[in-house]
Amino acid sequence: MIPHGKNPYLAVLTGIGIALVVANLVLIMNIESFIPTDLGPGSQLPYYYVQMIMTGAPLLICLGLATLIGVLFVYAARWKRTQ
């Protein structure tokens, strides 16, 4: 049973926010591993992978940070009410 006052959705949102930030930081730091060296000249596939990562990962990091800030706002709004 969930204790009174604990919101399981906020815990899930916190986990999702942390996962988004950490996973995409790891993805950006390891972007070289997505570029194969054995493809012939003229292949655009590695370029598309790199562009998707470099465009999507920062946006998902911002989404994760916004999620964490939103959860922090909810905790801050409820903090004084419970005392």
Measured CA to CA, the distance from residue 45 to residue 48 in angstroms comes to 5
Instruction: Say how many domains are in the chain.
Output: 1
How do residues 16-42 score in pLDDT, each as one tens digit?
999 999 999 999 898 877 776 666 666
SS3 label, residue 22: helix
For residue 15, is it within any domain?
yes
pTM here? 0.77
Q: Which domain holds residue 60?
A: 8-32+44-79
SS3 label, residue 61: helix
Measured CA to CA, the distance from residue 8 to residue 6 in angstroms comes to 6
For residue 50, is it within any domain?
yes
For residue 24, is it within any domain?
yes
Write the DSSP assignment of 26-49 as a string of letters.
HHHHTGGGGS-SSSPTT--HHHHH
Comparing 14 with 3, the larger pLDDT belongs to 14
Comparing 35 with 49, the larger pLDDT belongs to 49
For residue 39, is it within any domain?
no
Measured CA to CA, the distance from residue 24 to residue 19 in angstroms comes to 8
